[in-house]
A = this chain, B = another copy of it.
């Protein structure tokens, strides 16, 4: 058992759209990701997913709705909801989701990561 410093962990991440596991509890993963540009529209049939902005901002596009998120704000995407994060500039986010969640959900894409690295 040891504490995690979020800034230190982000310094180890040098690729966009590549979430890294930094914690696990109750079958859920805590992940950090640097994002920039457009992700792919996708959904998770069985998993809710939480996006918390640590630095910067991004917008979550969904069919018929877009939500802008800034530092210190979070959004929970319920299972089955199509969504696509887009960041004009680099943003640093924390994610909470069940262990085993695939980042691109129901879509197979170059961004797909089946098993995120632990840092």
Contacts and interface: CB of A to CB of B under 8 A. Distances in A.
Contacts of A5: 72-73
> How many copies of the polypeptide does the oligomer hold?
2
Contacts of A6: 72-74
A46 B78 CA distance: 25
B3 A67 contact: yes
Question: For A25, A47, A75, A77, which residue has the most chain B Cβ atoms within 10 angstroms?
Answer: A25
Given A1-B81, A3-B67, A69-B3, A26 B97 contact: yes
A110 interface: no
A92 B67 CA distance: 26
Nearest to A101: B26
A49 interface: yes
28 contacts: A1-B76, A1-B77, A1-B78, A1-B81, A2-B67, A3-B67, A3-B68, A3-B73, A3-B75, A4-B75, A5-B73, A6-B72, A6-B73, A23-B50, A23-B76, A24-B76, A25-B48, A25-B49, A25-B50, A25-B76, A26-B28, A26-B48, A26-B97, A26-B98, A28-B28, A30-B50, A30-B76, A96-B96
